[in-house]
Each structure stands twice: as structure tokens, then as C-alpha cells.
Structure 1
Amino acid sequence: MDRAHGAMGGHVIMVVAVNGNLTSESTPSATFRPHPHLPTIGMIGVGVMASALVRGIGDAAQKILLSPRGAKNARLLAQRHDAVEVCPDNQAVVEGSEVVFLCVRPDQIDDALSGVTVPEDVVVVSVVAGVSTEQLATILGPGVTVVRATVQVSVSRRAGLTVVSHDHPTVRALFDLLGGTLIVEEGPFDALQVPAAAMSSLLGYLKALTDWAVARGVPPADAERFVISLAQGAVADLDPADPIAEALSHHETPGGVNEFVRTHWLDKRIDPLHEVLDQVLDRLKGPA
């Protein structure tokens, strides 16, 4: 994976489709010394993904400016990070920042940018599912560079690989700090958004295993602890340099119970899963 070097210049707006709240029980990220090459960062809208980004960046940024949108989350983040300040409006965030994350749902983009002047040297990084580069360019006006990105909540731990549709040194350097950057063309980018939509189902599968054990007399805390340990062990066996099929083979004995569950349950449901994933892709792309 290529990594970016050098100072970050210009302005960047990051557009993030999110919906949710940062709870008071959320664990704050570790405190980092300010990074000399990190730009001033702004957030318009402060939901789940924006909060994860703030926690991942932490106090490594010289300054992080938050809009009053998502006031509760903004207040909690400001309490936890000395670098965080809350601005009176969205224009103030843009004017005071070099990197601005626009953290709203796709149907809120027009409202969020209404009356906000975006300079031509702004780079827009969009994590809005289903909104193309061309659509964003129309909204933001000519002369604004647009990069799409798929961000994971694990950026809060600096452990999330972010997929981007174009290589931009400033954007790449920032996402490398948060766990890494995968650069793909816009066509494959659309397809890679779909597996990200299946993560709650993956966790739901683990919950189903736990519920089955509890229904057969295992104490809930013990069932959860054991299933989580199984999942963590399986994930630990994954290596980005090796095919997933190789790790899968390490967890099966020919004729054993792992193979039995896969062949009698999962393999029979792969085609229906792919059909649902195709429907998700069609939904993300919107009407033809």
C-alpha cells in the first residue's frame, strides 16, 4: 500500500453519511501530541461516524472545529479533547478549517451546504453512499475536487482501512493515520461499499450463536465471552497477504463439525446472500 508523505495543504471537505449519537459511556481515544502536518479539521454534523473520526484523530490535530449540529455529541467530544471547539454555524467551520467533514445523511446535503461558500481549493471526500462524484460536483460547484471514501467505525481506534475512489495526498495521509488507505477506481468502489453494509449481519450471526447456547442452558455471560473469543481467534488468523479461503481451511477438518455447518447451512445460502447484496448495490447506485 502506498503511503503519503509531506505536509498537507489546501482545504478538504469530507462528506459522511451517518445517523446516531455518541453516548456518554463511549470510551474516549488516547491523547496524542499534535501532529505538525495535520491540518485544522472541521465537522459539520456530529453523528456516529464523525464521532469515530474525531476520536481516532484525537488531539493529534492542531484543532478540530465542530458545527452545532449534533449538539450533544459535539459537547461530549469537546469535553474529552482539548483540540475540539464548537462553532456557531457551518460557514464558521468551513472558514476556520483546512479539512472539513460534512457528516449528514444523503438527503441532508443540500440543506447542510445551503448558504455555505466552498472555495475552489477544497477537496471533497464523500462517504455518502449512493451519491456519485458527478452528483457531488454538481452540488458543490465547478472547480472542487471530489474523492469518495468508505469509512469504518474502527477508525476511532486507528484500525480502519478506508477505501477511496481517487488518490489525493492529503486525503491519503489522513486516512493512513487512521488505519490505512485502499485506492480503487469508482466502479469497484461502488461494489466495496456493499460488504460494509453486511457488518451488522456478521455481528448478528455471532449473536445467533450466543442465543442458541443460552437457550440450551449456558449462562449468557459465559456464552458471550466464549463466542467473542471464537470470533477474535478466527479474525486473528486472517492475513491481508493470504486468501480468506486459506484461513477458512485452517478451521476445518474434513468430515468434521465445522465443515458440516458450512456445507449444510452457509453454502446453501450463498446465492440468496449474493442476491441481497446485488439489491444493496442497486439501492446505492439509485435509479438508472
Structure 2
Amino acid sequence: MQGSYQIRALLPVEIRTAADWAAREGWNPGRQDAACFASVDPQGFWGGFLDGQMIACISVVNYGQSFAFLGFYIVAPEHRGKGYGYALWQKALEHAGGRVVGLDGVVDQQENYRRSGFELAYRNIRFGGVPSAGLAVSTGFEVQVLTAPTAELEALDARVFPAPRRAFWQQWLGAEGHHSVAAYRDGSLAGFGTLRPCGSGCKIGPLVAVSRPAAEAVLARLLQELPPGQEVFLDAPEPHAAAVDVARALGLEPVFETARMYRGLAPQLETDLIFGVTSFELG
């Protein structure tokens, strides 16, 4: 490393810059993702500054006392391979302390993550495209707009995410451009999901449901908000065959994949309820 290199927590405007960098990498974050992510852990976003200029970024966002998620790990191309990124990586991971840490990393970096103590749990696959098929939706669901977190939502979310995230939900459900709905069957919550605008098209995530019909009921309602001819992206856990089948049934094709990895004991999640990951950057 050369010059004066400083590592520190990012300011809000710098967090937005990190999201812009992620867009340039082709990760296509949502337009409001940076603000939503910062609401979870304002001290969880870090940057490496060379002679006062940000050249690297990373997030290690703490959820409570036991879990953190790592994302936004980017080094400016002209500064890669010089040790700046790894120094930032080490410093930011100190923020997690003894928490279990998850990440969704590009597959070709999997070996590097393993050397840092992360182990592969499964792959996530991003499906994308303009939907070319409709959904045969069961009539047994009542679908309502979701504007604030409820006890039922948090209980279902706890089955697919290893830590409470009320602050996230409060920001996420009220973010500009986000459309969130919940499906109920016989008065009980059966699924929920959010459609949000991105730099390219829109993403659906999270999409969580107790059954494929419930997931399709949520999806059908969200897709009503999709402008004609607009691309949509859905990130599905590869081991969940029904999620992959739903994405393919819409006419979407694989466009990207990640390696879901954990440092520490991998949480026991009900991945068969996850039809769409919330975000590759925040879990």
C-alpha cells in the first residue's frame, strides 16, 4: 500500500456512493436500498480512503447481538490487488465482534472467503427478464397492502432470517417506490413481498410464503405494479426447487448467482419459505 490510507465509518452521503459503486459492478441495487440499509446499523458501513479519496467500501451490518451480514465489498479497479481491500475487510469485520456473519459473495471469490473463515451454505440464483407468462392464482387468498410491520410479519420473518429486523422493516415498507403486500388465508398471514425499483428494472424481494400458491398470490399482486415491458429480477435460493420453478414459470432466466456463506455456525433457516431473497447486500 502507498500513500496515506485511512479506514473509517462512512457518512450517509458516502453510503449512497457505495450503492452507486454496486450499480456499476452490475449488482443493480434498489434506488432506496442505501437509506434502508443504513437504518439498520448506521456504523456498519466502512470505507478506505487513500489521500482523502474513497477507493474501497464494505458493509458489516449488525443485527442485534448474534448476527451480522457483510456486503458492498468493492475496491476501485485501479487499486485492486494492493492490499487496500483486505485491510478494510479485516477492520470492518471487527465491527461484527463474535457474531455469526453471513454474506452473498460472487462465486469466483468463494475460496478467498473460505480463507477468512466463511463456509458455503448454498447458492442463490438471480432470475431476470420481462415476465412472459401469467400466474394461475388460487382464489383462497386475501391480498392486502402492507405499510407497517406487524407481529405476524415479524413471526414469519423470524423463520427465514436469523435476527429481528424491525428497524429495517419500518424503513423498507415506507420507502419511496416500494410496493409491499401480504397474503392471508383464513385470516392468517401466508406470505409477503416487496417490489422495488432498481437502476435497471425492478426487484421482488423479499418474497416469503408458507406455500407456492401463497407466493404466487403475492407475486401476482406485485406484478400488477410492474410497468409494461419492464424487467423484473427475483433472487431464489437454489435448494428451494419451488422458488426456482416459480421464477422459470414467469419466463425469467438465470442472470447471476452468489455463494451464501457464513462465518460461524450457520443459522437454521426455513429456506423452503424463501421464494425471493431480500437483498444480496443485507441478507
**Which structure ranks higher in relative contact order (CA pairs < 8 Å, sequence separation ≥ 6)?**
2
Kindly name which structure, 1 or 2, has the bigger radius of gyration based on alpha carbons: 1
Higher helix share: 1
Judging by fraction of residues, say which structure has more strand.
2
TM-score, with normalisation over the residues of structure 1? 0.28
Q: TM-score, normalised by structure 2?
A: 0.28
